[in-house]
Amino acid sequence: MGAFSCLSILPVRLTPAIRDFPSGERPRERLQSYGAGHLSNSELLAILLRTGLEGENVLVMASRLLSEFGGLSGLSRITFDEMCDLRGISTAKACQILAGIELGKRVAALTSDDRVDITSPADLAKLFMAEMSSLDREHFRVATLSTRNQVLGIEDLYSGSVNAALIRPAEVFATAIRRNAPQIAIVHNHPSGDPTPSAEDVAITKTLVEAGKLLDIEVVDHLVIGQGKFVSMREKKLGFSQHHIGHFFWPMWCWLGLLGGFGWSRRGCWRRGAKPYRSACFRFVFAKERFDAVDLAGKRIKHNG
């Protein structure tokens, strides 16, 4: 009995400590020997956590966290306060985990060049997938592209409930007009994880494609990002039909109002008499008129669509 009582007061270790592992099985040593690419998600997270709890080594803790949130995707969605509420996660550990996740997202969105070349829907998806697939709210973003299909900039226009009533063509094309960009690409996510485009997604795409034709700014694609997958609406020919009756058969007064009444040609230069003025300053000065024209175009495209 005495021996039993003496043993009962000793601390019980439910899992062996990492220091008790063979050196070839410890996460840090495995990273040094084989590289980070050969480690599991649990091992990489364990290195960020550094230490575990009494009775739960850091590798088991990392596995528990991943299991609770359904893997790295779920873990990347939680906030700092939610992270700190988890058992065994201090402020320092929460900062380390969130910083590591954010670095991973940023690295995934980069290439060797400062300006990313977009040659396919997959290239465009690669630029946005890492971050947008884990967002818990819908976001609508516009990438402006050069004539060489290089990304000039990305703007997050809307978040929350993205619908046709909210999206204004003038706002979508504003940055492209300011930067004199000939092309844009549109990307938005579905927090549900299913990237299947909705009827409203198709309607939005059709409106923006037709408005872009009036401005001579091409909408190269509209991607819908889901959980680890995407849909190219151009590839599916959703909203990108070559012939649309609402565009080619507008009444003549509509064309005059858009292309003549506001004083700009299809190439986007202001004309006074027979002399074209192509400087950037004129594009800025008369941007408001062009925005109004695009809004009017969008409304009539929807009405005719």
In a domain, 233, yes or no: yes
64: containing domain:
11-108
Beta strands in the chain (DSSP E): 138-145, 151-160, 183-189, 218-225, 230-232, 270-272, 275-277
pLDDT over 90, % of the chain: 39
Q: Are residues 139 and 281 in the same domain?
A: yes
Same domain, 262 and 148: yes
Q: Which residues contact 71 (CB under 8 A, 6 or more apart)?
A: 41
pTM of the model: 0.51
**Of 64, 81, 108, which marks where a domain is finished?**
108
The reply to whether 40 and 88 lie within a common domain is: yes
Average confidence (pLDDT) over 102-131: 78
Structural domain count of the chain: 2
Domain-located, residue 76: yes
Same-domain pairing of 227 and 271: yes
Task: Tell me phi and psi for residue 78, to 5 degrees.
Answer: -80, 155
Nearest alpha-carbon partner for 175 in 283, 92, 83, 39: 283
Left, alpha or beta for 94 (phi > 0: left; psi -120 to 50: alpha)?
A: alpha
98 and 189 part of one domain? no
Q: What percent of the chain has pLDDT over 70?
A: 70
Summarised one tens digit per residue, pLDDT across range 37-53 is: 888 999 999 999 988 88
Rounded to whole angstroms, the Cα distance separating 278 from 284 reads: 11
Residues 135 and 250 in one domain: yes
- Helix-strand-coil split of the chain, %, nearest 5: 50, 15, 35
User: Is residue 113 in a domain?
Assistant: no
Mean pLDDT confidence for 32-36 = 86
Q: In the prediction, which pLDDT does 17 show? A: 82
**172 Cβ contact list (under 8 Å, min separation 6):** 142, 157, 184, 186, 208, 211
